[in-house]
Amino acid sequence: EKGGYDHFMLKEIFEQPQTIYDCLRGRLDAEKGTITMSGIQKYAEQIMNANRIIMVACGTSWHAGLVAEYIFEELCRINVEVEYASEFRYRNPVINKGDVIIAISQSGETADTLVAIENAKKQGAIILGVVNVVGSSISRVSDGGAYTHAGPEIGVASTKAFTAQLAVLTMIALKIGYEKGTLDKDRYMRLLDELNSVPDKVKVVLEQQERIKALAEKYKDASDALFLGRGYNFPVALEGALKLKEISYIHAEGYPAAEMKHGPIALVDENLPVVFVATKDSYHEKVISNMQEIKARKGKVIAVITEGDEHSTSLADDVIEVPEADEIVAPMLSVIPLQLLSYYVGVAKGYDVDKPRNLAKSVTVE
Ligand code: M6R
């Protein structure tokens, strides 16, 4: 049932070209320029006119919400907030009629996310679910939404569900932005093509399996690691750190790259691996200077970069290349090496990567 792979986690990482493809299929037509999502279409007016969208989720799904915040604000010009479900549900949040809540969940059973949306629904919010498990509790409470169609995810660490969430959220943002008029036709058509080419580009990233495995061997004895990124890649840095913690039990923290100056840079010495998510985007020059700051303090820089980016290569101790892509879709590529890195570090340390200690696949108690 692991399809020849040693672990479900690896199988699920390698399924991503297919799962992203499945998620887009039947919805995105790049030639006609259409995105068909009936569970979103019904609420398109309300989403377009929403004062704000609130993404509610936990863990990796919360990271997908953070990426979506950047995408929705850019393409739809709607104010977005991203909330930890556990905090949101107890905070007595201000919810106005017509606020749009997007609940993001692989399992559809996460207790905090479920109760958060039940409460918000009572207060008149529209609830959309971006959920993987068909018929799950969160999907039933939601008014509308879209399934991620990633298939069953068995590994406790979420991998293919995350990239499928990003694909769905990006499609929603593209659809709403275009219908609303905040996204012009040229960029819209270009982004449809970009999204369509993600599955093939993920395949290219996966070809670097052996190289990433070697990096895992090199860094597996680190006691800590820092993950840094800016913009669309900031949540990817958070996700990289979460994956490493879960699977390899190495203490890792993710930060917006510029925020390190406000504290974490004190940790940097020659023993600290610092993983930069540094693909070429509108933040790139800024990330480069953050990389220089780490090098100046003798940190070990591992950088996920765009193919052929010689400047970053010259600064980093180790690089992992991903194909060039628009910054809107880049997180679906830049997260892949981080999933593989944590997988191989966990395996190298002899841990049970499919069932890390103390963790359950879905957190159905608060
Ligand atoms: O099923 P959900 O997406 O609602 O689960 C949310 C988190 O519990 C989940 O993403 C968790 O953080 C994973 N172990 C991350 O790999």
Q: What is the 3-class SS of 25-76, one letter each residue?
A: CCCEECCCCEECCHHHHCCHHHHHCCCEEEEEECHHHHHHHHHHHHHHHHHH
Separation between Cα atoms, residue 48 and residue 52, nearest integer Å: 10
Return the ligand 1 atom nearest residue 361 CA. Answer: 14
* Å from CA of 228 to ligand 1 middle: 21
* Å from CA of 105 to ligand 1 middle: 7
Question: Per residue in 208-225, pLDDT tens?
Answer: 999 999 999 999 999 999
Residue 32 appears among annotated catalytic residues: no
Whole-number pLDDT of residue 53: 97
The residues, any chain, with a CB within 8 Å of residue 71's CB and separated by 6 or more, are 169, 170, 173, 232, 328
**Measured between alpha carbons, how far is residue 266 from residues 58, 117, 139, 300 in Å?**
29, 40, 44, 14
Strand order across the 273-277 sheet: 251-256, 224-229, 273-277, 300-306, 318-322
Separation between Cα atoms, residue 20 and residue 202, nearest integer Å: 9
Ligand 1 pocket check for 113: Cβ under 6 Å: yes
**Position 365 pLDDT exceeds 90:** no
User: 10 Å Cβ neighbour count for 26?
Assistant: 10
Ligand 1 pocket check for 46: Cβ under 6 Å: no
pLDDT average, residue stretch 347-359: 93
pLDDT average, residue stretch 176-180: 98
For residue 29, what are the β-bridge partners? 34
CA nearest ligand 1 atom 12, residue: 59
The secondary element (H helix, E strand) that includes residue 348 is helix 331-348
Give me the chain's average pLDDT, please.
Answer: 96
Whole-number pLDDT of residue 145: 97
Which is nearest to 333 in space by CA: 229, 222, 181, 213? 229
Question: Per residue in 79-116, pLDDT tens?
Answer: 999 999 999 999 989 998 879 999 999 999 999 999 99
For the whole model, what pTM was predicted? Answer: 0.97
Ligand 1 pocket check for 60: Cβ under 6 Å: yes
